[in-house]
Amino acid sequence: MGREQWKKIWVGSAGNMVEWFDWFVYATFAVYFADAFFPEGNETANLMNTMGIFAVGFFMRPVGGWLLGRIGDRKGRKAALTLTVTLMSASAILIAVAPTYDVAGYGGVAVLMLARLLQGLSVGGEYAASATYLTEASAPEKRGFASSFQYVSMTAGQLVGLGLQIVLQRNMSDAALHSWGWRIPFVVGALGAAIVFYLRRSMLETEVYAESGAAGQEDRGTLKALWQHRREAFLVMALTMGGTVAYYTYTTYLTKFLSKSAGMDKSTASLVSFCALFVFMCIQPLAGMLSDRIGRRPLLITFAVGSTFLTVPIMTMLRHASTFWPALGLALLALVVVTGYTSINACVKAELFPTGIRALGVGLSYAVANALFGGTAEYVALWFKNAGAESGFYWYVAGCAAVSLIVYLSMRETRDIDLNRVAAAGQPQGQPQQSGATSVTPAS
């Protein structure tokens, strides 16, 4: 892969990393600030309230997927990507300065809620814009590899957040972290977003979009146009269901699960997550390259089979893994299985839609599925735990994967779809792809 291709991947992924750093540090630092915004009481109940606000952000993601997907299809991928990082910077600043319950009562909760709403809008649009950009800007025979960097950047953002958490845990007292130290990552996130905003001002528009004629379509980026491809939209929601639940179970929830359920101290739990996620990040491009050779469906099916039958035993053993190495081994096993979904889900979804509604189709459909399943995963897990039936969550995750397995078995292969032949809404899909790279042109 040439220098120009790497530049496109870097520009398309850098902002994604900052977006997901800001998104995930809320979840990873929730154990420290959960009590700051609510009256003293049950620790688990306060964490549930805080994660309930986390879930609210997911319910704004469909709005972000619609609004910013529409902008991406009507104004271009660059316009959407620049706006998403602006919204994320504003939300990070709000959380960093949010007043605690002792200072402003429930006023702090209101600020926290507003910040999460903005984050939901931003991330809902970011997924659509980055998935579309990375898929369209890559060579046809390397779309799986290029789009895998969406989860590389997402995971890198989470790793930076976890790494910062480990540094703070080792250099600050527990009391200081609960008092004010939890605000530090949100300040870092706001500064990172400002840097990415500068980088994205000079990014290039994809040639697929610029030359497709999509800019001249009156119904581009509209729900009316998307309705003509409603089958693909529902397919995206169904194939996302199992993947998003499994992903959030073994990433954002893993640290809390090891700490609250397995009895592991917070710093060790964070280190387990960090090491597991680092390996997970490194294998994404390898799986993406594999999909370019053998197709997308084999990887998706492997993920679904593994997640359906291995989730319950893995989670059961993790529940009793109170030391570092057993927990790391189990977490790695789970994340290797999840890689079958994460490494290629961006390009699979983008390949299903024509150019004129690609950003909207990917963004809205994916965001709806995440609102229903991904955003509620931790809350469902905590609900089962609070009810004294924690193992019920394990079966819930396995059940969601089983539903997606049915979809993977029945869907068509998307690897050989030529994006240039589906440039306009309503054109048939599934034509053989042409050889050669898909380049980008300067955005106006």
Q: Which amino acid is at 314?
A: I
d(CA 105, CA 279): 42
pLDDT at position 216: 61
- Of 30-44, 113-127, 158-172, 190-204, the poorest mean pLDDT is in 30-44
Per residue in 252-296, pLDDT (tens digit) is 899 889 998 999 998 899 899 999 999 999 999 999 999 999 999
Mean pLDDT of 317-322: 94
Q: Which of the pair, 244 or 43, is modelled with greater confidence?
A: 244
pLDDT at position 432: 41
pLDDT at position 437: 42
Per residue in 19-64, pLDDT (tens digit) is 879 877 887 787 788 778 877 765 666 677 776 776 777 778 899 9
Go through 313-325 and write b for each residue having 16 or more CB atoms within 10 A of its CB, e for each that does not.
ebbeebbebeeee
pLDDT at position 333: 98
pLDDT at position 34: 78
| Greatest mean pLDDT range, 27-31, 118-122, 310-314 | 310-314
Q: Which of the pair, 122 or 56, is modelled with greater confidence?
A: 122
Question: Residue 440: which pLDDT band, with cuts at 50, 70 and 90?
Answer: very low
Mean pLDDT of 303-314: 98
- Of 60-69, 94-103, 348-357, the poorest mean pLDDT is in 94-103
Question: Residue 380: which pLDDT band, with cuts at 50, 70 and 90?
Answer: very high
pLDDT at position 397: 98
Specify whether the CB–CB gap between 305 and 405 falls below 8 A: yes
d(CA 444, CA 279): 39
Mean pLDDT of 237-243: 95
d(CA 329, CA 394): 18
pLDDT at position 105: 79
pLDDT at position 46: 67
pLDDT at position 298: 97
pLDDT at position 123: 85
Q: Which of the pair, 2 or 80, is modelled with greater confidence?
A: 80
pLDDT at position 415: 94
Percent share of the chain, pLDDT over 90: 54
pLDDT at position 365: 95
Angle 408-409-414 (CA atoms, 0-180°, nearest 5)?
55
Angle between helix axes 230-250 and 252-260 (nearest 10 degrees) is 40
- Of 79-83, 319-323, 375-379, 430-434, the poorest mean pLDDT is in 430-434
Mean pLDDT of 110-118: 89
Percent share of the chain, pLDDT over 70: 91
Q: Is 372 exposed, middle or buried (0-12, 13-18, 19+ CB in 10 A)?
A: middle
Radius of gyration of the chain (CA): 21
d(CA 203, CA 383): 44
- Of 77-91, 178-192, 421-435, the poorest mean pLDDT is in 421-435
Which residues on adjacent β-strands are paired with residue 206? 440
pLDDT at position 45: 66
Question: Residue 200: which pLDDT band, with cuts at 50, 70 and 90?
Answer: confident
pLDDT at position 436: 41
Q: What is the mean pLDDT of the chain?
A: 87
Short-list 292, 409, 284, CA closest to 340: 284
Total residues belonging to the chain: 444
pLDDT at position 33: 83
pLDDT at position 258: 95
How many whole angstroms from its chain centre is CA 351? 18
Helix/strand/coil (H/E/C) assignment for every residue in the chain? CCHHHHHHHHHHHHHHHHHHHHHHHHHHCHHHHHHHCCCCCCHHHHHHHHHHHHHHHHHHHHHHHHHHHHHHHHHCHHHHHHHHHHHHHHHHHHHHHCCCHHHHCCHHHHHHHHHHHHHHHHHHHHHHHHHHHHHHCCCHHHHHHHHCHHHHHHHHHHHHHHHHHHHHHHHCCHHHHHHCHHHHHHHHHHHHHHHHHHHHCCCEEEHHHHCCCHHHCCCCCCHHHHHCCHHHHHHHHHHHHHHHHHHHHHCHHHHHHHHHCCCCCHHHHHHHHHHHHHHHHHHHHHHHHHHHHHCCHHHHHHHHHHHHHHHHHHHHHHHCCCCHHHHHHHHHHHHHHHHHHHCCHHHHHHHCCCHHHHHHHHHHHHHHHHHHHHCCHHHHHHHHHHCCCCHHHHHHHHHHHHHHHHHHHHCCCCCCECHHHHCCCCCCCCCECCCCCCCEEECC
